[in-house]
Amino acid sequence: MRHFLRLSVILWLLLRLPALAQEPCRSVEYKQATLQSDPALAIKFQEIENFTQKQVKRSSVVVNGGGHAGQLTATINIPVVVHIVYNNASQNISDAQIQSQIAVLNRDYRKLNSDTSKIPSYYSGLAANCGIRFVLANVDTNGRSTTGIVRRQTNKQYFSYDDAIKFTAKGGDDGWDRDRYLNIWVGHFTEGVLGYASAPGCEKQKDGVAIDFTAFGTVGTAAAPFNLGRTATHEIGHWLNLIHIWGDASCGNDQVDDTPQQGAATRGNPSGMVFSCGNTPYGNLYMDFMDFTDDVGMHLFTFGQRDRMRSLFAEGGFRNALLSSKGIAPGTPLDDAPADEVVAGDGIKIQLYPNPAFNTVQVSSSGNLLPGAQLEVYNQTGARVLTTRVPGSTFQLDVSSLSAGLYFIVIKGAAHKMPTKLIKM
């Protein structure tokens, strides 16, 4: 009997473990807390994190006087499939509502959203064009033509975090190959769930984002204060490896250099400076897409967030395969305002005076530099020879320890893609 009991406990655990192990794939919020409990997934996440950090660092290192190593500069096109899983007619949202969501994504991820004008001036220099375009797929997994919209009626009254919406057999709709498409599932979720995302590294079949039908797009069933399409902007940020701005802990770490530390999530639509974690002088970046502010109060991704997301598409990156997807037929007209520009390092520029310099050089910036941002000096071979923290927008940098020659100055964060040449006499 004792043996039988022990055996059944072991059996129960064996049956139960895979389910428990899959939990972190529901949403990035659960990622940290469950890292220890699932070694295999923890290792996968860590691999992706290491790759990301290496890429982000690499792209700011100057190579032979100007270029950036490993930097991916073109606009990235992502084929999208939207699965509308509806129980009643009102949940079967219109094509127009779906298109309104795609349009929001294409503004937010290319800094074309008009509400960047509402970013306070002291933070406007942080807003980046992430150079990502979302296109409803017009070729399906079998090479046939498609609208990129799949509609499926379900008996289920509502869905939850359990991922049932991602499986036809569970009353949802099977996802398409995540190496070729971004899967977006839209359905009726239990009270309070606006949306959730899988983090890079999760199981193939659960890869994508899920959004409530009242928080999707800007028309039809979209309901205030989540009727400006920002739930999808936010969830796709997670899908592209972004962590909440407060780092999912009190004054946590979001692994992004140019976002200030923040104590906790922001709700509603605040204004003015709100301080936490000693984040002087400008306070919380609550207008970032990765906070919890109402749709109307979210306006930007930063350069650091841009780099983190785009790193996934570099060679060897977790989402690199999407670049060779055939989900968008060649010649498909893409919304092109502005024309396919190169995503260059367009952070705040810095000026050096005098230059050439002897022992000290004055560093000043075209916009607000975040005090505490890291300034790095590289020599011609790309080796870092000096590191210091920026005390403010204008300051004297001691370069007396450097030998004569050509150097490159990079400020990580706000200006970290703009290497400025310094000649040391």
Q: How far is the CB of 226 from ligand ARG (least distance, A)?
A: 5
List the structure tokens of 280: 């002087």
Q: Which entry of Ca ion, ligand ARG, none binds 254, CB below 5 to 8 A by partner kind?
A: Ca ion
The answer to whether 98 contacts ligand ARG (rule: CB under 6 A) is no
- Contact window for Ca ion (CB under 5 A) among 161-169, 189-197, 251-259, 307-315: 251-259
Q: Which entry of Ca ion, ligand ARG, none binds 256, CB below 5 to 8 A by partner kind?
A: Ca ion
Q: Yes or no: say if 76 and 129 are a contact pair by the CB < 8 Å rule.
A: no
The answer to whether 248 contacts ligand ARG (rule: CB under 6 A) is no
DSSP state of 55: H
# of chain residues touching Ca ion (CB under 5 A): 3
- Contact window for ligand ARG (CB under 6 A) among 51-59, 115-123, 225-233, 312-320: 225-233
Using Cβ positions, the residue closest to Ca ion within the complex turns out to be 259
**CA–CA separation, 75 and 341 (whole Å):** 7
Q: How far is the CB of 396 from Ca ion (least distance, A)?
A: 27
Q: Yes or no: say if 266 and 286 are a contact pair by the CB < 8 Å rule.
A: yes
Rama region for 292: left / alpha / beta (φ>0; ψ in -120 to 50; rest): alpha
- Contact window for Ca ion (CB under 5 A) among 42-50, 233-241, 254-262, 382-390: 254-262
- The H or E element that residue 31 is part of is helix 29-34
The answer to whether 311 contacts ligand ARG (rule: CB under 6 A) is no
Known catalytic membership, residue 203: no
| Distances, alpha carbon 422 to alpha carbons 21, 68, 352, 377, in Å | 52, 17, 7, 9
DSSP state of 313: T
**CA–CA separation, 262 and 6 (whole Å):** 47
Q: Which of 294, 366, 367, 395 binds ligand ARG (CB under 6 A)?
A: 294
**CA–CA separation, 201 and 191 (whole Å):** 28
Q: Which entry of Ca ion, ligand ARG, none binds 259, CB below 5 to 8 A by partner kind?
A: Ca ion
Q: Which of 108, 140, 163, 235 binds ligand ARG (CB under 6 A)?
A: 235
Among 23, 235, 315, 376, the active-site one is 235
Which of 298, 238, 232, 239 is closest to 267 using CA atoms? 298
Place of tokens 């705040």: 348
The answer to whether 68 contacts ligand ARG (rule: CB under 6 A) is no
Whether the bond into 354 is cis, omega within 30 of 0? yes
Binding mask 6-35 for ligand ARG (x = CB under 6 A): -----------------------x------
Q: Which of 254, 288, 291, 376 binds Ca ion (CB under 5 A)?
A: 254
CA angle 245, 192, 119 (to 5 degrees): 35
The answer to whether 38 contacts Ca ion (rule: CB under 5 A) is no
Which of 153, 158, 227 is closest to 190 using CA atoms? 158
Nearer to ligand ARG, 196 or 246 (CB): 196
Q: Yes or no: say if 302 and 256 are a contact pair by the CB < 8 Å rule.
A: yes
Q: How far is the CB of 68 from ligand ARG (least distance, A)?
A: 32
Q: Yes or no: say if 390 and 258 are a contact pair by the CB < 8 Å rule.
A: no
Which residues contact ligand ARG by CB under 6 A?
29, 194-196, 226, 230-231, 234-235, 292-295
Catalytic residue list: 235
Which residues contact Ca ion by CB under 5 A?
254, 256, 259
